[in-house]
Chain A
């Protein structure tokens, strides 16, 4: 089935460690996104990528890094520089950069710093 797969679903990290969240899509979408959601809050854009080997910072990119080496994959690294990383992370994708594209979401990954 086509969709967006995020892994792991739950992840625990010790302070000072980097951690990478995986996001893979088989929808042949050009654009991919990472959002962060804190409890009771809306979604905030971390990074997005419109094409392979290119990406742009969103509203809260500090402490995060991404890569887009393949169309299907857009991993997010939460670095030790991110001071408050405990949150729910959502990966999304869309067909492209034309106006009106709908973004579709993965199931999310819970990151907890212990």
Chain B
């Protein structure tokens, strides 16, 4: 079974629209970490955010916001007022005990923002 599921393979929006990327995870541990990465066409994965399982407070960073809900095992990512530069593949990832070095990545969601 997939530990991290990103059900949306590809999303297309028009610039200035809001868009939410879904991430559902599976773990039996009480201590775990969730991450989001952005992969632009250049290929490098860029770290966006890390969340630990004990901190359910939502976070906002500029146009980006993250909604962590343990009750539904979800860690969704919203981009407000999307821009063409947001076009990329976005990955959600999980690390859990006992081996926190082993990251489980979702299959990614490709976001196309059209002008």
Contact = CB atoms under 8 A, between A and B. Distances in A.
Nearest to A4: B44
A17 interface: no
Interface residues of B, number: 24
Nearest to B100: A99
A100 B102 contact: no
A14 B2 CA distance: 34
B50 interface: yes
Nearest to A9: B43
Contact of A100 (B100, B106, B108): B100
A108 B102 contact: no
Contacts of A107: 42-44
Interface size bracket, A side:
20 to 34
B14 interface: no
A1 interface: no
B44 A97 contact: no
Interface stretch (A18-26, A43-51, A67-75, A76-84): A43-51
A43 B91 contact: yes
Interface of A: 31, 33, 40-43, 45, 48, 50, 58, 88, 90, 92, 94, 97-108, 110
Given A42-B91, A103-B103, A108-B43, 19 more contacts: A40-B107, A42-B106, A42-B107, A43-B91, A43-B105, A45-B102, A50-B101, A58-B102, A97-B100, A99-B31, A99-B97, A100-B50, A100-B52, A100-B100, A101-B100, A101-B101, A102-B50, A103-B47, A105-B46
